[in-house]
Amino acid sequence: MRISHISVSDKITLLVYGCNFKCKYCFFKPRDCTNLTTKSLYDILSKIKKECNLSEILIAGGEPTLQDDLPKLTKLLNRNFHSILSTNGSYLLETIDKLRVKEVHVNLKAFDNKKHRLLTSQSNKRVLEAIEYLGENKRDLNFKVEISTVLIPGIIGLSEIEKIAKFLGRWDLPYHIIAHVPTRLNAPRPSKDIIDAAKNISQKYLSNVSTSLESRRHRKGKKILIQKSLIIKV
């Protein structure tokens, strides 16, 4: 598996290298890529788990589903970890039946395909198909599902959030609204009032809506670089 680095905070976060999207607001800063076997990586993660007393692991990136050995890794982790997959959804259907995770979080950048292309350079067709599959089969899945969207004033605003919520409302999937943090994209951070309004609009269609005001999912932590199966703490 191609690894960028690992971050440790209230959970272990495994950041894989490489993505098929070019998101204009992406905050991921990959380190040098390291190739590890799934067994070597599992051993490293198990050591971190023991040292830090953490059993929850978020597999993110980058785009984890581009890694051919992701299913094999999740099978190993399923023994002793609560694994969460964070994905853009574009290749989820190719791997979904092979994964052994407790949760799958799909980030839907936009419901409008033109806006999705503007933000990512890619169509959202495959992402919407993946979400439809999750919705249609949610009672038969052996993992929890959550869909998220980054609220970006002037680009992904209240009208776009409502379109997404209405789409997700067909299956009443859990929805998480994330406040945009200004980095590379020239757009402001949404105010609390706008975030609250987005939540209220979404609740017209969905029973489970949360925002980043209530729970911060990606906490800054200590980075751990991996080089040739050695742990180098930063």
In this predicted structure, what is the pLDDT of residue 216?
62
Its pTM stands at 0.91
Digit-coded pLDDT (tens) for 167-214: 999 999 999 999 998 877 888 999 999 999 999 999 999 999 999 998
| Residue 166 included in any domain | no
In this predicted structure, what is the pLDDT of residue 194?
96
Separation of alpha carbons 104 and 90, rounded Å: 13
Residue 124 CB partners (closer than 8 Å, separation 6+): 108, 109, 110, 111, 113, 116, 117
Residue with tokens 């076997």: 37
| Residue 30 included in any domain | yes
| Residue 168 included in any domain | no
Determine what percent of the chain is predicted with pLDDT higher than 90.
78
| Residue 199 included in any domain | no
Domain containing residue 91: CATH number? 3.20.20.70
Evaluate if residue 225 carries a pLDDT over 60.
no
Mean pLDDT over residues 149-170, rounded? 97
| Residue 100 included in any domain | yes
| Residue 202 included in any domain | no
Evaluate if residue 159 carries a pLDDT over 90.
yes
Q: Could you list the residue range(s) of the whole structural domain that residue 141 is in?
A: 2-150+218-233
Mean pLDDT over residues 62-89, rounded? 96
How many domains is the chain built from? Answer: 1
In this predicted structure, what is the pLDDT of residue 184?
78
| Residue 213 included in any domain | no
| Residue 186 included in any domain | no
